[in-house]
Chains A and B, each alone.
Chain A
Amino acid sequence: MDIHYQPLEGRSPGYRLLLAVLLSLVAAGFFATFQMIEHGIHLSGMTNRVPWGLQIVMAIFYIGLSAGSLVVSGLYGIFGKLEYKPFARIAAFMAMLFLVAGLLSIVTDQGRIDRVFVEPFAHLNPTSMFSINPALYIGHIMICIFYLWALFKEKGNLTKFSSVLVVLWALCVHTGTGAIFAFVPRELYNTALLPPSFVAAALSSGAALMILVLVSLFRITGRVLDRVLVIWLGRLLAVFIIVAMYVILIENVHRLYLIESREATGALLFHGYSAWLFWGGLIGLGSVVPALLLFRRRTGTSVRWIVFASVLVVAGVVCERYLIVLPGLEHPPDLFPGYEIVASPLDEGIVTYSLSFLEALQALGVLSLIGFIFVLGLKYLPLLPTEARAHGESQMLRELIASVDREPVEGEVVSRR
């Protein structure tokens, strides 16, 4: 099967405008970071009780997204599914960019950015997940570059080897990222189920984002994207959603059951904004609704509904990342079990984190930077295939094509038999 890759021409006014907008947002992000370097991080919403905020939430979100991209890429690289070969390069490139975004989010969050390029490498602490993880991330970026290069070279064995390597390393990266929180003695952090739930949500959000990016890219550039491929990816996403929901529910039931974390988990699940984010954002709109949409035949075979479900999943996982980081910090450690603190110069009770404008600008700047590199990459690298068609080789695909036998609705890409 021959795939021709044709980069974007990149001469349209829309393309240039997009680049200009992204670049100006990057500049705004730089400005915000510079302000914090000059005047201190008190310009963000973080405090002594809530030392991590939006940047760390986005960092783990981006790192999670890279897993899903790599799984889609691995469908071709590891399992040899030729139908997914057209997406392998874009997925690998996106995975690498997401990791860069994650690292950048963390780096711009540090108190002494001038030291963060020197000290962690000179003095690694093997007991610290914050020390091991950057090593994993940087290694992962290099492996992704190697994988992308192998895909460009199109050597079968090399592709397969690098594909397996990148997925295994990605598993370590995501387990490590979950471990940043799981290996710390805070009531709402301390659980062995956090790394698996992190990986599961990473897979679902990454697959969802891949669907969104692929459908929009092919539609904007007017290239043919076989509907059957999107439907297949939608089914994969549905499985990931179910697995993620399972692990997250078990994690929370376990925390609720144990007496030591019952009060904190009860507050998270049933009071305040976190209850809305959890039940409404993560479980309801982020998991149950998309799963229903994807499993039902009518909506699960419609590209429009699949895209809508993907948007919901991505939003749900953003909620989940927020719920991983913030409630654990907002809820105080129990210093005196059985007692309550009636007076203290500090805020010893439950506090709330509030975002600051500069912080949001910083996060937007990071996102725009990788968006900028991505848009440039589409023009200068052979990433985008001219078309992506399904072939009716596999039995399952043939049945799927048969079941999708109806009049194509206006606006949907046409499937080939």
Chain B
Amino acid sequence: MKRREFLRKGGWFLVGTGCGRGLLMVAAASAAGADTRWGMVIDLTRCPADCRACVQACRQENNVALHGDTRHDIHWIRKVTIRKKHQPDGREVSLPVLCNHCDHPPCAQVCPVKATTQRPDGIVIVDHHRCIGCRYCLIACPYNARFFNYRENEDWPNPEYPKRSHGVAESCHLCAHRLDQGLQPACVDACRQAGAGALVVGNLNDPESEISRLIAGNPVQRIRPDLGTEPKVHYIGL
């Protein structure tokens, strides 16, 4: 009879622990703002072709490495100029390209240690303490938006924010450290200061937010939506 009782009590203990863990996870999720879903809208009609304010601000804020070597340089956000194929005199469009913080991120799917994960608020972020540097996420990303620290980065423009040592992968995380404190990402602020205001980051789940109204009121496009990754960076005027 003692064994049976032990097993019964043990079973309830496990159930209780499981429920407790589940509650903690829910609590953690709600603490991180699980009902917030961050997205970005880029209004290309306001984005000057030769402006690099967002790129420079991101590099400055996040200590993004620049070595002067296109093979190893890191660009969390970059300006890309495109033109229709077979039209050498066609219209050229310049647009910022960055991590799209997909809702079905292939990078998080393939990370062997779950260093790259999607936070409950929709931001895809790399845990640089856990990354083993396998570079599988670079391969899985269909947007060429992920980078690897092949070299040590000697510059540290913003000591208030960590830099990355060599051996880990990284990509834009929508300045999660700023969003968590109620600030806007560095690129958004810089764009506003440069007078363009083309970048807007906000809560996609809030129908009253600026970003939701922009998406609702304008024809927006995303890069390669056919891949099914559900990118959350939208372009107006692409």
Count B interface residues, CB 8 Å: 52
B166 touches A40 (CB 8 A): yes
CB atoms of A336 and B134 under 8 A apart: no
A322-364 CB contact bits vs B (8 Å, 1 = yes)?
0000000100111111111111111110000000000000000
Chain B at the A interface: SS class = loop
**A131 and B150 contacting across the interface, CB-CB below 8 Å:** no
Interface bits B168-186 vs A (CB < 8 Å: 1, else 0): 1100000000000000000
**Contact in complex: A52, B135 (CB < 8 Å):** yes
A399 to B92, CA, bound (A): 73
Given contacts A111-B169, A338-B84, contact A48 B92 (CB under 8 A): no
- Whether B83 and A184, one on each chain, are in contact in the complex, defined by CB atoms closer than 8 angstroms, is no
| CB atoms of A119 and B132 under 8 A apart | yes
State which size class the interface on A falls in: 35 or more
Contacts of B12 in A (CB 8 A): none
Q: Evaluate contact between A339 and B83: CB separation under 8 angstroms.
A: yes
A343 to B224, CA, bound (A): 19
A351's nearest neighbour on chain B, judged by CB, is B71
| Closest Cβ neighbor of A44 among chain B residues | B150
Given contacts A111-B132, A112-B168, are A48 and B71 in contact (CB under 8 A)? yes
A130 within 8 A of B: yes
Cβ A110 vs Cβ B166 within 8 A: no
Say yes or no for A216: interface residue by CB 8 A criterion: no
The answer to whether A346 and B70 have CB atoms under 8 Å apart is: yes
Residue of A nearest to B152 (CB): A40
Cβ of B82: which chain A residues have Cβ within 8 Å of it?
Answer: 336, 339-342
For the complex, is A408 an interface residue (Cβ under 8 Å from B)?
no
Residue A123 CB within 8 A of the other chain: yes
A323 to chain B, nearest CB (A): 16
Q: Which residue from A40, A49, A116, A124 sits with its C-beta under 8 Å from B149?
A: A40
Besides the known contacts A111-B132, A185-B106, 11 further A-B residue pairs in the complex with CB atoms under 8 A apart: A41-B148, A41-B150, A41-B167, A46-B150, A47-B71, A48-B150, A52-B139, A111-B135, A111-B168, A336-B223, A343-B94
Taking beta carbons and an 8 Å cutoff, which residues of B are in contact with A? 70-75, 78-85, 92, 94, 97, 106, 109-115, 130-136, 138-140, 142-144, 147-152, 166-169, 223-224, 227, 229
What are 5 residue pairs bridging A and B, where the CB atoms are less than 8 Å apart in the complex? A41-B167, A47-B72, A48-B73, A335-B144, A343-B94
